[in-house]
Structure 1
């Protein structure tokens, strides 16, 4: 088990003890590490396992009506000597469990996700989870904890890289930046009004870094400050109440230049937008009032006409 990478607390060894008795004379012999014939012809098969500190498990089959206290004590003492001898040889070969299981050994990892992310991991009609299983060559099982209602996700596979890819996807889906925290990001798209960056801790999670948050100085072109593939730190400010989108800033991590003053927005004058639509309507009404009455129109006859 230790060689396979099972994280055991302490090494464990085991031994099978046998017994041959003479019912006429009462003589007996306790056998250590019995073979198949000794098990078949003998009167006892007593398996004992344990660490250097004591017994962890035992199991006994006997063909006689019972065992005396003396026989049981002798069997346990003899088993202890055998177990400790095996442990010495075992530790000479491997002192502690391997850090990881063997490359092709079946593996199962269990993790938990908030209930609201279960649907996102499954996807519409199971599209996300099916694609994830296909690309990572893993099996993903999701159950709901009846008490906490959390999603219990079991990932089974033989390829550790595939299991790690599933865990990374889960981390990405459940990623929530914390207000005031600093995160490493990477530029994945350049726009006229900023750069789209991706959190390195959660691939697939994107946020807009507005051009006004690149530097304290006025930035004419985004590429004057950042370019595709650049990685750097930004500070997360939560949801901007104006845009209702996540806000991050690069300049917030840089000291403000000495003597820096933010440019106030110019005040809008009352008459800088020209006449309003309602004003034009009023003008048309005034024009109609000033028109002279027309007397050249024929009188209207609303009575029905006969054929």
Structure 2
């Protein structure tokens, strides 16, 4: 069974960009598309217009919104199988539930208006922290220049083998007939000096060499695991979030793992994921480790 790409919409410019990205991805991959609107978003905006109907005003607005979204997809990509639905529930709960039976869930990083923008930002972050499938968050603004076709960037962390994010990124690069940029960031702790007992020669050189060796070990396993792609190595000194944001400039998509921590409101994303979702200029895919 082909699991659909699910996209959450609210009628804002940001969600239209997410809708267009999801529709293009569905057309490229041959997957069905499911358009979802959680009507409680309208309550948070305080928009309660009145209509001469027995149905709640929010439901009328929501049904019109998803119908318009469905028409937009069919106009842009007539071959995409698209269905739409309205769920009068909390958006995060709805989309987490949808993620159980989805290939991807796609959202814009911001919604309509100042308050809605804050809300949808929190929805995107919460969903990326709880979803059971990869979540793609499209940026609030279009990039200054078109992305390089097929360019996929992935961050390689400390795990001894390829992560779910690395495998997802390789599959993305293969399906796009493009290239995978595997990025390993490294830093030299300020307190380390050349006479550190575990280091020989320059501490910076030792840390860089360790990062290069780790990246090679991970990619050796990754490249044996499935269809090949043109894989490039990038070992860069600096904070992980900053390195990934800079490397992803001009990419079609940046892929990171869902580094989650517990909390009284459920799992939350770590600081690196949080930063790239806010500041990357391209769509960001957050992949759960269990994917």
Under TM normalisation by the shorter chain, which class is it? under 0.3
Higher relative contact order (CA 8 A, sep 6+): 2
In the superposition, the TM-score normalised over structure 1's length comes to: 0.23
Rg larger in structure: 1
Structure number with higher helix proportion:
2
